[in-house]
Structure 1
């Protein structure tokens, strides 16, 4: 097995190489010796399988191993054909256990060569990346990227399956940040000012939202003394927005305390020198008026307007609410697809969320899970339409949840509707179990199996036991294929949560997020899969979790394909059980 070694910034990660790995490097790579400058402390990059060339793939390790210049990469790896070696290795590895897989899993094993009914891992991730890249680099709630993702999945299902496909629309209440507002009206002309350029909030300011403009008044001198305020122009200052110079004659706290006596509605503090910078200022605690600093230019313009147009009384409008947040509703949707056969009062739900965070493409989180669920659905549809494939006694419902990154709003909406509906097949009591696939392609992966043990008391003991029995089927597959695995807590942070707390046993797979791989895990995976496949000890499973770098380069195709096969095996195993209810609940 080929292992690639990088020098790296020792402040980021330390990993000691064993002698046999060093020997493997010397005999199996043509990397120049100058690139390996330190033989004792290096960053080990495990090989990704089946999709990326060396240069494309190794870009990911900038985040783990420090900055690696593109030109250096191209020079060092120009003649290094790891892509071909990886494909050959993976093909051999897959064929080793293909004969023991159920039909659905065998079909999934071949999905790269069945263009009419399946999608390869490369094209799957490319699709998810394309949806994000061409729609603001995100698939977050309310974005065109999210809509494009759901539309693509819906089109695939409607064109390639005979499933019943439907959407569930819902509204998500969210807080939208509103920047403070400052506008002026001088001689009938309105002007809007730019936050952080023309003005800034003063710390300890009270909130305000003036529906109508408030008159301006100038406080002479520095506004440090009562006599300054008693000479306000126009007089009195009460109920006005006061303009006060920001200088060194007294502190902002003192100015704000004196201002409090005169019942002003607001305070505008401006520089006394011609500068484009905005001062940071802190007022006294418990002031009852809104307070802002403004630039020298804005302060001078407003002061001049007051002095020149006293008879017209220039006005300003100021706005700032606590936290600068406004509650709005954003529409979103779940997408579900039911197979046409099976008992609809005994349904197996298979789900993944189709949204991402706002500042990233979310290709691993959760393009990997969403596309895995699509692969499973398309292959199942193909099998169910053949004459040789026996139909399931249970109905299978595939769902792609919206707004998971917004407190799992989509899956909670689905369960809430299932709790109140009387439509047979859509009732909560019609659901036997739920499988959740969230993050299946972490670059520094582990094969995580969600376990029922360790769930909080909010989940009933019956549901915990049923969830543990689901986990056991996953473990059986990994054991019989001699693959490593680890227990992973179901936790309360993904779309299985509303099902769990509503009495439905749940399970699923997970390749890791911001947790760190242990040395024991790295060594165990190396031992069972081959050197290099163990990954990087003491590094994040997904260094780009909830980051902008969660792109196609942030995925491990070997982990993804392994997890999809495990999911296929497990789904078919449950679908073929004659006593699934008893297995889960008794």
Structure 2
């Protein structure tokens, strides 16, 4: 998940806020059920097929009972089986599904194979991606070692490191954007190591500005005593950049002699997305549902984001390639999310203006089975004030429908989570495409109020194995997985047959 490879200097995802209360949570589902056909056995055949060839003919054959039947036909057991396969593939290929690895390629082939067997036309378009690896990272200040962490896509120092005086960049209490302006580096000695606080602008911007002002390197001081997994992304003109904790940063003094050694490698590689689309439905109004398929290099990534990938595959397999829908449904499994949302970004950038306009809505599912699960819906209209932004028109409808779907699946009081662009929906909302999605939480801690209504342990992270080797099958909350796959299916089905509330663009 891109949350760990944080691009911006601000704090990560902020959770909680106003609880989304739904007075009549199942109203939409009940209304659809009243028109539904009698349920059949689970599986693709239970959802019916359409003989329409798209456009108005397909739209006329849209079955309003499909959302209810799709939600009833999927479940956590099917998604769990897919998670077992993703675990097996990781174990057989170096322990992960990181970009550029055999494990990721094996996962692509598996997902594509399941989709083809389910009646989809499938493509695995390739894209170019810069990959990053880090070896040694050492910092010595005034002769004493200081724990440091390299930022992704930082240039390396010379093999023996670089030695220079520290230059603390002053900040007044009124300065809400430390290190984000060229003026913040005025008067810095040439060749110094700039020390700047974490703030609201991208880390790459800080490093670029410091380098332009003559800094040899940058140290970013975190706002808390924790690691700062972050990235400079593809920012030109950056210098070697690392981070230190808040306490370590507070001990640094202007002019102290420091030695920084960063051993890093940046390469250009090829990766792939997986794209599948129904043959039925209006090709001029496409509903896209996506999840990232890659993991971090540290482990198998079974929650992040095997859970979203497996749940989406269970839904696609059950829906089949020719369902009775009004809009085409396009399923996507993205590559290279963990190093900057690259697969989704390349996909959106590669679409013509006409094809972008054909995407009516994007739904994103990234971590849907966290072991200390929260039940969070992206705050598409920024009504919760969680630090994100309002999405394009129609994002509010996605939030409402997903919330209703969670409640119908048995979740009391889903809450909003900031619409801050830190997962694969980011490129879509930047392109003006409305979006929404579900999330069960990562590194932040569950509140007592959340534990009371959802269970789990207050004061502990939603996922203590986030981006670590223990993110394996034992790291999955099966109840959260079952509820989320059901809610996902209900919402995807609803928008596949009815785009009310999502305006044409």
Using the size of structure 2 for normalisation, the TM-score is: 0.60
Gaps of 5+ in 1: 1-100, 113-117, 181-199, 207-283, 288-320, 386-390, 526-533
Q: Unaligned regions of 5+ residues in structure 2, if any?
A: 1-63, 138-157, 165-255
Matched, 1:409 2:342: yes
Residue 167, structure 1, aligned to residue 96, structure 2? no
Distance 1:151 1:486 in 2: 36
Q: Is contact 2:131–2:267 with CA below 8 Å preserved after alignment?
A: yes
Higher relative contact order at CA 8 Å, sep ≥6: structure 1 or structure 2?
Answer: 2
Q: 1:168 to 1:202 in 2, by over 3 A?
A: closer
**Which of the numbers 370, 374, 379 marks the counterpart of 1:451?**
379
Pick aligned residue for 1:357 from 288, 296, 299: 296
- Measure the CA separation in 1 of the matches of 2:389 and 2:477: 36
Distance 1:556 1:407 in 2: 27
Counterpart secondary structure, 1:583: coil
Alpha-carbon distance change, 482 to 111 in structure 1, aligned in 2, over 3 angstroms: closer
What is the root-mean-square deviation in Å for CA atoms of aligned residues?
A: 3.1
Deviations 1:285-304 (A, max 9, x none): 799xxxxxxxxxxxxxxxxx
Partner of 2:434: 505
Work out whether 1:153 is the aligned partner of 2:111: yes
> Cα 1:122–1:327, aligned 2, differ >3 Å: closer, same or farther?
closer
Q: Does residue 343 of structure 1 match 2:282?
A: yes
Q: Distance in 2 between matches of 1:376 and 1:406?
A: 27
* C-alpha distance 164-519 of structure 1, shift in aligned 2 (>3 A): same
Aligned residue in 1 for 2:98: 140
After superposition, the C-alpha distances for 1:110-129 in whole angstroms (9 at most, x for unaligned) are 446xxxxx972332211111
Matched, 1:366 2:324: no
Residue aligning to 1:432: 360
Shift of 1:584: 3.8
- Pick the aligned partner of 1:476 from 401, 404, 408: 404
Residue aligning to 1:40: none
Give per-residue Cα distances to partners, 1:77-132, cap 9 Å, x unaligned: xxxxxxxxxxxxxxxxxxxxxxxx954554454446xxxxx972332211111111
How many pairs does the alignment contain? Answer: 329
Do 2:405 and 2:488's aligned partners in 1 also have CA atoms closer than 8 Å? no
SS in 2 for 1:332: strand
Distance (whole Å) between structure 1 residues aligned to residue 389 and residue 163 of structure 2: 48
Provide closer, same or farther for how the CA distance between residues 481 and 378 of structure 1 changes in structure 2, counting only shifts above 3 A: closer
Cα distance, 1:435 vs structure 2: 0.2
Tell me the alpha carbon deviations over residues 27-53 of structure 1, each in whole angstroms, 9 at most, x when there is no partner: xxxxxxxxxxxxxxxxxxxxxxxxxxx
1:536 paired with 2:457, answer yes
The answer on whether the counterparts of 1:175 and 1:328 sit within 8 Å (CA) in structure 2 is yes
Q: Structure 2 CA distance, aligned partners of 1:375 and 1:396?
A: 14
2:366–2:439 contact (8 Å) kept in structure 1: yes
- The separation in 2 between residues aligned to 1:326 and 1:573, in whole angstroms, is 46
SS at match of 2:338: coil
**Distance (Å, rounded) in 2 between the aligned partners of 1:511 and 1:459:** 17
Q: After the TM superposition, which residues 324-335 of structure 1 pair with which residues of structure 2 at under 5 Å, given as runs?
A: 324-335=263-274
What is the correspondence of 1:59-458 to structure 2 with a 5 Å cutoff? 102-111=65-74, 120-161=78-119, 163-177=120-134, 202-204=160-162, 323-381=262-320, 384=322, 391-419=324-352, 427-454=355-382
Partners of 1:517 and 1:505 in 2: CA distance: 29
Change (3 A) 1:177 1:447: closer
- Deviation track 1:445-480 (CA, whole Å, cap 9, x = no partner) reads 011111213399x9986x444211111012223344
Query: Within 2, Cα distance between the matches of 1:154 and 1:559?
Result: 26
Are the counterparts in 2 of residues 469 and 584 from structure 1 also a CA contact under 8 Å? no
Does the aligned pair in 1 maintain the 2:410–2:483 contact within 8 Å?
Answer: no
Shift in Å, 1:204: 3.5
Q: Quick check: which one's helix share is greater?
A: 1
Instruction: Label 1:125 to 1:329 Cα distance change in 2 as closer, same or farther (>3 A).
Output: same
Contact 1:104–1:380 (Cα < 8 Å) also in 2? no
Aligned CA distance change for structure 1 residues 203 and 495 (closer, same or farther; 3 Å): closer
Shift of 1:326: 3.9
* 1:123-146 Cα shifts (integer Å, max 9, x gaps): 221111111111111100011110
Distance 1:111 1:322, change over 3 A: same
Cα distance in structure 2, aligned partners of 1:344 and 1:360: 38
> Partner residue of 2:502?
583
